[in-house]
């Protein structure tokens, strides 16, 4: 719900207050350590950017420091796949919360190679396959798209991150081959994984990510360039999926505490939106046991608590 009083709040003061109150949480949590590129970040870092549909922007802390967006990028690939395949997409990937870790293999066998939703790794790999099978230059097109929606033409993939993801990505490779055995991956598995690891390795800062989500806060049309990236109906579906599946098996707790559709990544970023108003990105590398930024989720909880603005 958007209270008209709150829209004119002193946003910078609220964000500064959150930045102060979040400090005890910044050293909590555990930095992702499955590859050295993720492990070698300052755990205490914290950044936050809030951008409005009307063009206002407010930031705090390490908001201009680049981090690895990881699973946040699944929103970019899903936007691409959704615009290619429309509702055909849902024949190949489900729309239900998984209730299992994001990289689980077990559920996939029970459900005959059809992933529960597009945000668990298996689902994002099917989405990657849809993009690889339909785009001219899958990764370059996606990078161009991300540059356009974030308004930053310098956004790029961190090559070391990409190579490490690829080198240590055995579980993702297993998921891809397993789904190929069910006929749910059309393209060459290596090409699909290269695309998936590529978009996960995008390096961006809080402001970039917040701005890149603004089209989802504005019914699929980016307010800064007036371009329609998803129809209003597709944007509604994307946001519903973000609310129910965007933070994995912690999505219920996240919705309960924060009350915004959001997407997390193991790099410590979380992007979230209030339809019709704004998008936010928070970043702090210490993760909770589900793989979501601990201080980041707390900061978003403080944001909706202090402002009284959430989707409910
Ligand atoms: O596929 C992986 O395991 C990583 N590249 C992305 C995982 C991720 O960010 C899950 N998020 N919380």
pLDDT of amino acid 2: 56
Report the atom number in ligand 1 closest to the C-alpha of 172.
1
pLDDT of amino acid 99: 83
CB atoms within 10 A of CB 42: 12
123: Cβ–Cβ under 8 A, 6 or more apart, which residues? 93, 94, 115, 116, 117
Ligand 1 centroid–CA 13 distance in Å is 33
Contact 253, 99 (CB under 8 A): no
Ligand 1 centroid–CA 205 distance in Å is 17
Domain membership of residue 13 (yes or no) is yes
Report the atom number in ligand 1 closest to the C-alpha of 200.
5
- To test ligand 1's pocket by mutation, which of 266, 282, 292, 293 has the most ligand atoms within 8 angstroms of CB? 266
Task: Find the length of the chain.
Answer: 312
In the numeric block, which tokens belong to residue 292?
A: 């979501």
Domain CATH code at residue 247: 3.40.710.10
15: Cβ–Cβ under 8 A, 6 or more apart, which residues? 48, 50, 58, 59, 60, 303
Binding pocket residue ranges, ligand 1, CB within 6 Å: 70-71, 102-103, 121, 165, 172, 200, 264-266, 291
Measured by CA distance, the residue closest to atom 7 of ligand 1 is: 71
Instruction: Tell me the catalytic residues.
Output: 71, 74, 196, 248, 266
Report the atom number in ligand 1 closest to the C-alpha of 165.
5
In the numeric block, which tokens belong to residue 191?
A: 């090409």
Ligand 1 centroid–CA 55 distance in Å is 31
Ligand 1 centroid–CA 67 distance in Å is 13
- Indicate left, alpha or beta for 172 from its phi (over 0: left) and psi (-120 to 50: alpha): alpha
pLDDT of amino acid 299: 98
> DSSP assignment of 42-62, as one string?
-TT--EEEEEETTS-EEEEES
CA 101 remoteness from chain centre: 16
- To test ligand 1's pocket by mutation, which of 29, 101, 121, 126 has the most ligand atoms within 8 angstroms of CB? 121
What is the residue-level pLDDT of the chain in tens, covering all 312 positions?
555 445 778 999 999 999 999 999 999 999 999 999 999 999 999 999 999 999 999 999 999 999 999 999 999 999 999 999 999 999 999 999 988 888 889 999 999 999 999 999 999 999 999 999 999 999 999 999 999 999 999 999 999 999 999 999 999 999 999 999 999 999 999 999 999 999 999 999 999 999 999 999 999 999 999 999 999 999 999 999 999 999 988 999 999 999 999 999 999 999 999 999 999 999 999 999 999 999 999 999 999 999 999 999
Contact 182, 113 (CB under 8 A): yes
pLDDT of amino acid 86: 94
Report the atom number in ligand 1 closest to the C-alpha of 287.
12
Contact 282, 269 (CB under 8 A): yes
pLDDT of amino acid 97: 95
Measured by CA distance, the residue closest to atom 11 of ligand 1 is: 265
Ligand 1 centroid–CA 306 distance in Å is 30
- To test ligand 1's pocket by mutation, which of 102, 105, 167 has the most ligand atoms within 8 angstroms of CB? 102
- Kindly calculate the radius of gyration of the chain based on its CA atoms and give it in whole angstroms: 18
Domain count, the chain: 1
pLDDT of amino acid 5: 47
Segments forming the whole domain that contains residue 194: 4-307
- To test ligand 1's pocket by mutation, which of 103, 245, 250 has the most ligand atoms within 8 angstroms of CB? 103
Domain membership of residue 182 (yes or no) is yes
| Whole-number Å distance between alpha carbons of 159 and 56 | 33
**Which of 130, 155, 161 has its CA nearest to residue 212?**
155
Ligand 1 centroid–CA 5 distance in Å is 38
Q: Phi/psi of residue 49, each to 5°?
A: -130, 135
The three state secondary structure string of 231-284 is CHHHHHHHHHHHHHHCCHHHHHHHHHHCCCCEEECCCCEEEEEECCCEEEEEEC
Collapsed DSSP state (helix, strand, coil) of residue 303:
helix
Domain membership of residue 103 (yes or no) is yes
Ligand 1 centroid–CA 12 distance in Å is 31
> DSSP assignment of 162-223, as one string?
HHHHHHH-HHHHHHHHHHHHTT---S-HHHHHHHHHHHHTEEE-HHHHHHHTGGGGGTTB-T
Contact 244, 251 (CB under 8 A): yes
Domain membership of residue 148 (yes or no) is yes
Domain membership of residue 312 (yes or no) is no
């Amino acid at each position: 719900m958007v209270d008209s009083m709150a829209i004119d709040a002193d946003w910078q003061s609220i964000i500064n207050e959150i930045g102060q109150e979040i400090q005890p949480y910044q050293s909590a949590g555990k930095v992702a350590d499955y590859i050295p590129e993720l492990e070698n970040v300052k755990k205490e870092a914290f950044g936050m950017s809030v951008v409005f549909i009307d063009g206002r922007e407010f930031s705090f802390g390490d908001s201009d420091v680049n981090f690895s967006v990881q699973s946040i990028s699944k929103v970019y690939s899903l936007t691409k796949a959704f615009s290619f395949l429309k509702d055909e997409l849902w024949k190949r990937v489900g729309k239900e919360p998984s209730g299992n870790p994001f990289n689980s293999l077990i559920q996939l066998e029970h459900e005959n190679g059809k992933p529960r939703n597009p945000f668990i790794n298996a689902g994002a790999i099917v989405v990657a396959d849809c993009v690889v099978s339909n785009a001219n230059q899958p990764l370059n097109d996606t990078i161009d798209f991300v540059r356009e929606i974030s308004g930053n033409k310098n956004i790029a993939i961190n090559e070391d991150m990409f190579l490490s993801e690829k080198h240590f990505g055995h579980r993702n490779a297993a998921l891809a081959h397993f789904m190929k055995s069910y006929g749910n991956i059309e393209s060459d598995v290596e090409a699909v994984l290269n695309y998936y690891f590529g978009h996960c390795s995008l390096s961006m800062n809080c402001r970039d990510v917040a701005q890149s989500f603004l089209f989802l806060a504005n019914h699929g049309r980016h307010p800064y360039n007036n371009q329609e990236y998803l129809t209003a109906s597709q944007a509604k579906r994307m946001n519903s999926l973000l609310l129910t599946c965007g933070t994995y098996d912690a999505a219920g707790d996240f919705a309960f505490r924060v009350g915004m559709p959001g997407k997390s990544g193991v790099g410590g970023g979380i992007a979230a939106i209030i339809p019709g108003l704004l998008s936010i990105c928070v970043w702090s590398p210490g993760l909770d046991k589900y793989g979501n930024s601990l201080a980041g989720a707390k900061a978003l909880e403080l944001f909706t608590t202090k402002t009284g603005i959430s989707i409910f």
